[in-house]
Amino acid sequence: MTADLVKRTARAKVNLTLHVTGQRADGYHLLDSLVCFADVGDIVKAERADALSLSVDGPLAEGVPTDDRNLVLQAARLFGSTQGAQINLSKHLPHAAGIGGGSADAAATLLALAELWDMPLPEDVVSLGADVPVCLSPMALRMRGVGDALSVIPILPELPAVLVNPGVGVETPPVFQALTQKANAPMGEIPEFADVQSFAVWCSDQRNDLQEPAIRIAPIIQQVLDTLEPALMARMSGSGATCFGLCESQSAADALASDIRTQHPDWWVVATSFS
């Protein structure tokens, strides 16, 4: 029996590391990244309907398109189905923020419609974006190639964290264009970790190769990183402008998030945990 309404959470994707290791002849960049997912996200609801449509609401809906520019509709059309669906996207994540909001929304839409329409997932999901394949399996993974080579890693310890976005959208292409060195060293092997402290030490020795070019484009990112300084470690996620800080406990994350909200009430700040 098929469902008439399917709901999926599009969890925020966080690049704990992001090593740019090269660029293919077709322009796609090669990555080596440790990806995890926060326990916050957008909500996708898909309901049976005669035609395909998209509505957007939620606290961060402003400026989010409801036409074919939105990856949600692009994901729906990838099925090539004649069936309809009324899709609602409730936005709780900032967009153009480096936490895979659009890709997570697309992945959640693919999973929701596959169930609603009783169809297999389309094969060419990477055509929607390099982050879509990893968002189909929201768990900590190592992502290589152009985002299509995924591998399981040792189970991570509990990672209490704070996510901060200063309300500045950073488009990905200009950040990659500003990257002067594109053939960088990949990550080494990912070991097992006893706790968040040992993970933070290891993670501090890794990189996000897009952080410095993103700061040149949006200097406020450095201010966000400075504000996260009480954390065990802080880094930008993806191509920015969202940054994360790993904390020693969930209570420490809650306290840091509260302090940052007091200092910057116009920023998007959430205490969360990664898995």
Supply the residues annotated as catalytic. 13, 131
Closest CA to 142 of 191, 96, 196: 191
Distance, CA of 42 to CA of 26 (rounded, Å):
32
Who contacts 224 (Cβ-Cβ below 8 Å, separation ≥6)?
Answer: 164, 165, 166, 236, 241, 243, 267
Inter-residue contact 197 to 5 (CB < 8 Å): no
